[in-house]
Amino acid sequence: MLRYTKIKDVRPGMENLNLIVKVVHVGEARIISTKFGEAKTALALIEDETGRLNLKLWRSQVDLVKPGDIIKIENGFAVAFRGATEINVGSRGRITVIKRQM
């Protein structure tokens, strides 16, 4: 059984994060150059009853989530980026839309 973390408890360096959150906003997608080639990325603002954090979306994740969606993040990790904590979901993790806002 997965153990879920609340946003207020997320700190940079944490791994194996599982969260259930609401997507508040999805920023504009952009193309960046990485060591693996070009990639589409966007920043989403997520929340639960304890707070808000940024979620970095990569490639197909960008088109997966919409504002108002309730999503489950499995095996994410937290990093510090430009002075703020953000969550990333890499190749070992998964984002699942649990409930889509109509």
CATH number assigned to the domain comprising residue 41: 2.40.50.140
With respect to residue 1, please indicate whether it lies within any of the assigned structural domains. Answer: no
What is the residue range of 64's domain?
A: 7-99
With respect to residue 2, please indicate whether it lies within any of the assigned structural domains. Answer: no
- Can you give the pLDDT at residue 71? 98
Going by C-alpha positions, the residue among 62, 46, 64, 44 that lies closest to residue 10 is: 46
What is the Cβ-side half-sphere exposure of residue 3, based on CA atoms within 13 angstroms?
Answer: 3
- Can you give the pLDDT at residue 14? 97
Does residue 7 carry a pLDDT above 90? yes
CA distances from residue 46 to 34, 35, 37 in whole angstroms, order as listed: 25, 27, 27
With respect to residue 33, please indicate whether it lies within any of the assigned structural domains. Answer: yes
Name residues whose C-beta falls within 8 Å of residue 34's C-beta, 6 or more positions apart in sequence: none
Q: What domain count does the chain have?
A: 1
State the residue for tokens 């984002």: 95
Taking residues 35-61, report their average pLDDT.
95
Look up residue 52 and give its two tokens: 């808000």
- What is the pTM assigned to this prediction? 0.91
- Can you give the pLDDT at residue 34? 87
